[in-house]
Amino acid sequence: MSLGESASALGKVRGLGSAGHGGEHWLTERVTSIALLLLGTWLVASLVMLPSLDAGTVVEWLRHPSGAVPMALLVVTSFKHALDGMKVVVDDYVHDEGNRFATNTALLFLAVGGGALALFALGKIAFGASA
């Protein structure tokens, strides 16, 4: 696509960047990073404050909404943030358009699959009949 002299300054910039688009992606990466600042701090603080890290204690913690809900948010947000971050790296280093599409698609499948597996495991723990 060629942009003639008639294009505005914004029109010339919009749609550029190594991926061909990116404003929303850039902002999403920042918003998930703020969420992960909270959720990551929560995870470290929780692991430190648990009386023990044996299976019974951790399962009991994750069966309670105060453990299960932030953990579910952490899983979803961290996989999304990881995917967004890895896409930036791929867009920077994989120059061929076909390879870039293939790599980004593989990463998308891995992130969605990994996140689904982690959520299933968490659900099994949280809704499990016994520890």
Partner 1 sequence: MAETNTRPLSPHLTIWRWGPGMTVSILHRITGGALSVAGLAVLTWWLVALADGPEAYANFVGLAQHPVGLVVLVGLTWAFFQHLFSGVRHLVMDSGAGFELNTNKRYAVLTIIASVLLTAALWAYLLGVLK
Query: Applying CB under 8 A, which of residues 1, 9, 10, 48 lies at the interface with partner 1?
Result: 48
Q: Is 53 in the site for partner 1 (CB under 8 A)?
A: yes
- Does residue 89 belong to the site contacting partner 1 (CB under 8 A)? yes
| Minimum CB–partner distance for residue 34 and partner 1 (Å) | 7
Classify 52 in phi/psi space as left (phi over 0), alpha (psi -120 to 50) or beta: beta
Residue of 76, 91, 116 whose CA lies nearest to 21: 91
* Residue 33 is a binding residue for partner 1 (CB under 8 A): yes
Size of the site for partner 1 (CB under 8 A): 32
Instruction: Verify binding: residue 70, partner 1, rule CB under 8 A.
Output: no
CA distance 93 to 115: 25
Q: Which of 19, 35, 76, 86 binds partner 1 (CB under 8 A)?
A: 86
Residues 83, 115: contact at Cβ < 8 Å? Answer: no
Give the contacts of 129 (CB within 8 A, at least 6 positions apart).
none
Distance CA 99, CA 28 (A): 24
Please identify, using beta-carbon distances, which residue of 83 and 103 lies nearer to partner 1: 83
- Distance CA(26)–CA(1), nearest Å, equals 23
Contact positions vs partner 1 (CB under 8 A): 30, 33-34, 37, 40, 44, 47-48, 52-53, 55, 58-59, 62, 71, 75, 78-79, 82-83, 85-86, 89, 114, 117-118, 120-122, 124-125, 128
